[in-house]
Amino acid sequence: MKILHVIAGMNPNLGGVSQAVRTMCTELSKQGIYNEVTGLDSPGEPFLLNEPALIHMLGPAKTPWSYGAKFRPWLVDNLHRFDIVLLHGLWLYHGYALRKAIQACRSQSGNEARPRFFIMPHGMLDPYFQQAPGRKMKALRNWLYWQLIESKVINEADGLLFTCEEEKQLAREPFHPYKPKSEIVVGLGVEEPPVYTPAMREAFLEKCPELSDTPYILFLSRINQKKGVDLLVKAYQQIVNHYATAEVGISQHEALPDEEVRIPRLLIAGPGLDTLYGQAVQQLAQADQAQESAISFVNMLSGDAKWGAFYGCEAFVLSSHQENFGIAVVEALACGKPVLISNQVNIWREIDQSCSGFVAPDTIDGVYQVIQQWLNLSMAEKQQMSKNALETFQKTFSIVLTTQHLIDVFST
């Protein structure tokens, strides 16, 4: 079986879709499935080095639509080589060009069924994007684009593939006519993290030396309004104020009376600190000088530093207003770390049912609630939740399991 993955771009700074494609290609290759990837990045981008599949980048993309003149002709010339074409993401030129190229390819070959065409929306049909404050013009643009182009892409595909049941249900709400030929939940797996080594801790502490002997809760994602980072900072400040007499960041190794609460520090890590929103969040954290040292910020962590951050944290927190899957959430589970998330992270049901963390609304009170629930646990309860987290990863989000689901769909 040969699969072509079609994506707008592979820049990891733009979100989790590119990482999902990389992980998918890696595991599919292990199962004997041949993969290639095409998109609209410039061919010489440094993040394209050491990719797990043959890459064809035909950019640079131009205009907000990510248009590339070479893209559609390349697809027309090459689609016949593949059994499956998988479109990742929506709303950009790559989907429009792929639909047109598939029509041309099938017409030329006289085979109306090959190549088979599937779409992974990766949450891009979530009603949040049509309802969120400040997105009225974008919502209108999407509605018009749906009527002219995207409804045809969706409804002509052989199937829509979803990362979880929640995503599938939400995708039915915002646009009509919505009549996909099939809707299939295949999941989205994450590779097992590398085994912990002291080098990971060392790499992490090079970036965050102030956390050398300090417990912390980790936020690791883009610093973006959709992620609710401002809610997280405000809720954490309320936690610190509530325990005004406690020492923030007290060492896990110090013996404390059972009734005394340990308050871990908060580490916010990710790209976007230099944006207007990122700067506003940092200013918010610095507004109260008494709390300033309780919150640390660091740019995007990768490699050993990233895994050192995961393995070293008490728990992972994500307060998103919308999150289709949350790769970082699953990576935390894979490291045996409980997750404190909003109920707008689409895998919240799996977390709640498995007791792998705490779930609450995407509000200041909601974020306060999940942090407080974590603080109220005994050490034994925290250890049990950590075990639950690892088991949930292994039984629900392992890349081996989800890749087999994908292969079963493509083989049917």
Three-state DSSP state, 55: strand
Mean pLDDT by 10 residues, the chain (412 residues): 96 83 93 96 90 93 95 96 97 97 90 90 93 90 96 96 93 95 92 94 96 95 94 94 66 42 89 95 82 84 96 97 91 97 94 97 97 95 97 92 93 88
Burial code (b: 16+ CB inside 10 Å, e: under 16) for 236-269 equals bbbbbeebeebebbbeeeeeeeeeeebbbbbbbb
- Considering the domain architecture, whether residues 235 and 351 belong to the same structural domain is answered as yes
Give yes or no for a cis peptide into 127 (omega within 30° of 0): no
Rounded to two decimals, the pTM is 0.81
Number of domains in the chain: 2
Using alpha carbons, select from 101, 66, 59 the residue that is nearest to residue 81: 101
> Do 213 and 146 lie in a common domain?
no
The residue segments making up the domain with residue 295 are 198-396
For 333-380, what is the HEC assignment?
HHCCCCEEEECCECCHHHHHHHCCEEEECCCHHHHHHHHHHHHHCCHH
Same domain as 120, residue 71: yes
Question: Which tokens is 14 given?
Answer: 């733009």
In-domain check, residue 404 = no
Domain membership flag for residue 412 = no
**Structural domain includes residue 40:** yes
Task: Please name which of 47, 69, 73, 51 lies closest in space to residue 60, comparing C-alpha atoms.
Answer: 69
Domain boundary among the residues 185, 217, 232 is at 185
Residues 70 and 178 in one domain: yes
Whether 171 contacts 121, CB under 8 Å = yes
Residues 391 and 360 in one domain: yes
216 and 167 within one domain: no
Q: Are residues 268 and 318 in the same domain?
A: yes
Whether 173 and 217 map to the same domain: the answer is: no
What pLDDT, on a 0 to 100 scale, did the predictor assign at position 382? 96
92 and 177 housed in the same domain? yes
Final residue belonging to a domain, choices 158, 185, 212: 185
- CA nearest to 66, candidates 105, 34, 92: 92
Full strand arrangement of the beta sheet holding 216-220: 295-298, 265-269, 216-220, 315-318, 339-342, 357-360
Shared domain check, 125 and 61 = yes
CATH code: domain of residue 80: 3.40.50.2000
Q: Is residue 233 domain-shared with residue 131, that is, in the same domain?
A: no
Cβ contacts of 287-290, under 8 Å, gap ≥ 24: 288/237
Check: CB of residue 163 under 8 Å from CB of residue 140: no
User: Which pLDDT value is given to residue 49?
Assistant: 87
Is residue 225 situated within a structural domain? Answer: yes
pLDDT for res 254: 41
pLDDT score at 190: 85
